[in-house]
Structure 1
Amino acid sequence: MTKVVFRKWKNGDIIALFPDEPWSRSGYMTTSYMHVGQHGAADYAGVIADTSPAQGNEYKDLLNELRAIGYTDLRIVQRARPKFTNKNM
């Protein structure tokens, strides 16, 4: 099961954050996904601070896109504590 948090930027764009999927083994960034740019690194706490929760009708297109590329076991949550692999943080 893959946790996903959907958030909305002030301009209306939706971002999916994957708090349990670190972007790399070093650093504190988590994996994210948007229609434009697709997968990328995101500062989880920063994105949460700069966005608002996305409603189901706002993130449904992004959710469908994620499912189409292979995310078939998503668990939608409002917030989560990111898990990082770097123990030196």
Structure 2
Amino acid sequence: MSFGQNIQFLRKMHKGMTQEELAEKMGVSRQTVSKWELDATYPEMDKVVELCKLFSCSMDKLVREDISMINEAYSNIRVKEVESFSFIL
């Protein structure tokens, strides 16, 4: 899988995010995201770092590997803190 296919895969796994939504989060145009996904252009390094943070993946996996085939499951699961509570056994 190419870099662009990895971005497309992760975007769709991230609550079905659209190109427009990703573009808004990254501060670029929808056309720019489309070009990334088509491997027509590549983002600047700071944007790659932002993509890794957004999708919770390493730069190496995003750029060099087939993310859809990695043993790690990518999903919409995120860690959230909740108020403490008590229970009785």
The structure in which a higher percent of residues are strand is 1
Q: TM-score, normalised by structure 1?
A: 0.29
The structure in which a higher percent of residues are helix is 2
Q: TM-score, normalised by structure 2?
A: 0.29
